[in-house]
Each structure stands twice: as C-alpha cells, then as structure tokens.
Structure 1
C-alpha cells in the first residue's frame, strides 16, 4: 500500500509518498480500504511536532477518513467486510489502508458519498459539540463565528442556523464571506478591513453576542470577548492563527460570561455514546437539507503535502479531501 509519510518534523513539503507493507488488523481492530481522507488543522500541527499527540517517526498523518471495511479482527462484533464506515484515528489516515480500533468507527448512512463522509464527522461533530453541548445554544440567540469560512467555521454557521440562531460570520476576505453567506450567515464582518469590535456591537444593537465560536485565537479572541453579552459564552475551539491568546480575567467577571474549552477528540473518546447521538442528529439534518458540506478541493495522495499546505495557508474555504479511491485514474 502507499502512504503519505512524515519522516522528519517540519512543513508539509518534507512529506513523502512511499510503498509500505499491507496492514493487518489486531483482534479488536478493523482494516479499512480508504477511499477519501479529510484534511484537518491537527494534521498541520502534528507534522511540525506542535500537537498534543506526538507519534514516533516515521508516521502517516491524517485523523479521519471514510472507506470500506476490508478485514476485521477475531473479537470484533457488529462490523463486517464490505461495510462503509467513517474512521477516527489520531494519525495514519493518509494511506491506502488504515487499521483502527473497532469502537472508533461510525457507519456511513445510505446515500452519503464517501468523499463527503470523510470530511464531515470531525468538522460537524466539533461544531455541534461546541455550540449545542458546551455552548448550550438556544433558538433566537446570536452567534459570532470567527474564521467562518474554514472547515469547522462553515460547519458552525450551518449548525447554528439549523438550531434557530442568528449568525454573524467573520472572515478575512470578501470571497470567503460570500461562501459564508451562501451557507446561511445572516451578517458578515471582514476583520481584515473592518473594526471587529465595533462591527459586532453595531450588528448586535449594542447588546453583544450570546455565543462566540472561536477556532482562530490571537488578538481576535479578546476583541470578541469584549463584545460578549451578559451570560454569554466564548467557545475556545482552536488557535488557527498560531497565537494562544492571554485574556484578562476581569472580562468574564464584568460580563457574567463563560470561557468554555472545546476538545472534540477527547469528547469522542470519553463519551462515545453522546458523540454518536450528536452524529445521528447531524446525519438527520444533512438528509433534511439543513447542512451542506462544502468540499473546496480534492487532491490525490501524491499531492497530499499540497493539500495540507493549502489548509495551512488558508487558501481554501470549507474542507480539503485527499482522494484515495481504488478506481481513481492516476496520472
């Protein structure tokens, strides 16, 4: 099998594609023939030794994929060869084959394309967990989504709308904001050209926003927090701009608001039944047309490093997918 390998810590350009021996599942594991793998921000960090998971070199990055079960271990129940599944892994998904524990799988609903499935669970699962669980979002509340054109940001825009909220989307270009509008955003803020704090207060009638979805970090976090409404919630999802903000503790005190951490990966591991219920709701919304996953670009495995670079440099809106279909014509 072929795999995209990290053999030394550093930028995506250091990654190489090599042929490796075929994988075999352990007794409680499943072997998956990967058809597509979603590219996520942890993939950017893990190859640079900046993520909390630090595998031994060499390794293949990739945290989620979709494909078909090829073989199961002797003690695996409820999964069989031929099943279409989404698989979660800390790393290893950017390969033609991946082995995961059987409890790290979700069945792909009938009619769902495997490309879409590979780019769905992490982004939408994270955003649902953030907004509905950690953020306790209520119908009629106002949500500010920072980095709204990214994978989790665009998912948050759609989920907030499906939950009955008013959505303010913030991004850095007019083109990215147009994508946000197409996916349901009610109001737009270009924080490259506009004063973020002033625009939030203008759009909220001076009240501030009830929930802030923040996968960006840096200076935007404090500016948004200063616009949090009474009893509002700031959801710390990630730090895509590379800077972890240092916030003044008097701000949540004065506003009676909460700063809430969101770590979907650990939620998935610690509370798998709750996560499965979240995904069931998301699949239902998808079937009802309330969610519209946006795959901006597909790359073959041979160009997997470019896929990670595109995400790293914020060159795309929505999700990037690595295409590993067995029937794909290779050039």
Structure 2
C-alpha cells in the first residue's frame, strides 16, 4: 500500500515521503481500517517537527484523525494508532475507541468532526460552562479548531466574536455565523472587543493560538470570565501573570482533550453523541476548504502548518469514496 512516512523531524514538506510499504498488522484489540478520508490537524505538523507531546518512533505515518471502513463494511471515525497514521491507504486503530460516522456527513466531513469538535465541546461545555446569552471570543475563528468552536458557540446560544487574520478569513468567519468579526491585521483587537461588548468583555475566550492572542484575551475577558487554553499555534507559550487573574477575577483553564480518552472515555462517547445530534440537525457542519489526493498530502500538511488554510483540509486516498 502507499503511505506517507517521516524518517526525520523537520518541516512536513521536507520530511514526509510517499512510499510503498507493507500493510500494517493490527495488534491485540486493534482493527485494520481502509482510510476513506484523513483530516489534517495541527498536531500532525508538530509531530513532523518533533514538537508534539506525543513522539512516535521514526519512521511513522502522520494522520491522527480519519473516517475509515472496517473489514465488515462499517463506516467509522477513528484516531489511528501511531506509528500507522491516517495519511495512507490503510491504518490501524483501537477497536474499543471506534465511533460510528454520522450518516448526515460525507467521509471528509465525518473525518473532521472528531478532534476539533470534541476539543470545542469540551472547552466550551466541560471546562468553561458556556451558557446561552454569554459572549464567546474565538481566536483563529476561521481555522480548523476555531471554526468548530464558532459553530458550537452559536449552537449553545452564545454571541460569538471571531478574531481572524486577513479579509479572506474574515469572510469565512462571517459565513460560519460569527456575530462580530475582528481582523487582527487591521484592527485593534482589544478596542474592538470592548466596543462590541459595551466595555464588559467576553465571558469565555477560546484560545488555540497563545502568544499575543493570550495577552489580548487577558485584557478583554469579563468579570468572572474564563479563558480556555487549547494550544499554541503561534509557537509562543504564554507565562500568565497570576496577579492579573486575581485582581480581575477571571479563570485560566487548560484543555488537553486527548487525556479524556484515558481518564474518562465515557465522556468522549457522550460528546460524540451530542455532536452527531447537532450534525443531524444541521447545527454544526465541518468546514472543508480542500479535499486533496494522497499524493498531495505533504504539501497540504505544510499549508496547515504555515497557517494559510481555512477550515479543514482533508486527504482523500485514491480509490475511496468521499462526496465532493
């Protein structure tokens, strides 16, 4: 079969190599899956660079989220068991963690429903306790994880402010349903949020960016607001001033979604049920900006790493079905 492999760490376009390899053999408790679609996530970029908290042994195949098909024909969502990731024609996954793919979504959309939307749901509902009528601020609102948070925030009845970089991403954020869109390249984010909220600020801040975005968040978070730290796409990990959190009465919450798979997997299943229901009602629908063939996966992963994409970029291996 064909699979992309990383033999050394570096930029995805430089270290990912497409090769003919042996089909992986499932271990105990694992199943072999035909890859119908593989969603590109920022952790795939970080793993190529050797910067992710999970470091699979070299060589490995990236691709942490797929819509696959079991040998008995079931259509499922899975996180492949590394080093046999999803940027390949076949992958392996833990049988106990397989989730049914929603009938309301095609393969590419189903592949993109899992990590980003689970992250958004856990961040907004489990960690921050977002309530209807509150104001939610989403950084990188046109990105893969951000777009999921925007849709989930709207579904929860929140007023959503989206922060983006550039006019193209601003247009995407508006289409996603943001009530207010702020282009950080041309606008003062802090001033714009305060104006949009009458000086009150945002009740919940969803931050997958870190760096300057986190600093802005501390300046616009409302009294008893909650900042949920989801990631550091900027490459800069903030060092919070806890005296500032004290005097403004706000909370800084961390979210490492992957921990729930081992600490409380029943919550992951519960979340999936909520997401399937939202998808069936049309309340959420993964934004797929590109569907690329397997041969173009390395370039696509690089684009995600460079921050020039919107929504989700999904790899569709040749010979599989994924509605356009």
State the TM-score, normalizing by the size of structure 1. 0.93
- Confirm or deny that 1:168 pairs with 2:161: yes
Equivalent residue number for residue 28 of structure 1? 29
C-alpha distance in structure 1 between counterparts of 2:123 and 2:187, whole Å: 26
RMSD over equivalenced CA pairs, Å: 1.4
Matched, 1:229 2:230: no
CA–CA distance in structure 2, aligned partners of residues 327 and 268 of structure 1: 28
Q: CA deviation at 1:90?
A: 5.6
CA distance in 2, matches of 1:100, 1:240: 27
Asked if structure 2 preserves the Cα contact closer than 8 Å seen for 1:141 and 1:165, the reply is yes
Retained in 1: the 8 A contact 2:35–2:320? no
1:78 alignment counterpart? none
Using the TM superposition, give the Cα deviation of residue 12 of structure 1 relative to its aligned residue in structure 2, in angstroms: 1.1
1:62–1:90 contact (8 Å) kept in structure 2: no
Q: CA deviation at 1:124?
A: 0.7
Displacement over 6 Å in runs of 4+: none
The question of 1:149 aligning with 2:142 is answered yes
Q: Equivalent residue for 1:129?
A: 122
* Cα drift, residue 327 of structure 1: 4.5
For the Cα contact (< 8 Å) 2:293–2:318, is it kept in 1? no
Q: Name the counterpart of 2:78.
A: 87
CA contact (8 A) 2:109 2:285 kept: no
Match of residue 203 from structure 2:
210
Specify the SS of the correspondent of 1:279: helix
Query: Aligned residue for 1:320?
Result: 313
- Listed one character per residue, the Cα deviations across residues 152-204 of structure 1 (whole Å, up to 9, x for unaligned) are 10110000000000000000111101111111100011111111111111111
Give per-residue Cα distances to partners, 1:187-225, cap 9 Å, x unaligned.
Answer: 011111111111111111011110000001111201111
Number of aligned residue pairs: give it: 319
- Could you tell me which of 251, 263, 266 is aligned with 2:256? 263
Residue of structure 2 in register with 1:306 after alignment:
299
String of CA shifts for 1:31-64, please: whole Å, max 9, x gaps.
1000110000000100111001111110001111
5+ long unaligned stretches in structure 2: none
SS in 2 for 1:149: coil
**Structure 1, unpaired ranges of 5+:** 71-80
Could you tell me whether the CA contact under 8 Å between 1:209 and 1:228 is conserved in 2? yes
Task: Name the residue aligned to 1:101.
Answer: 94
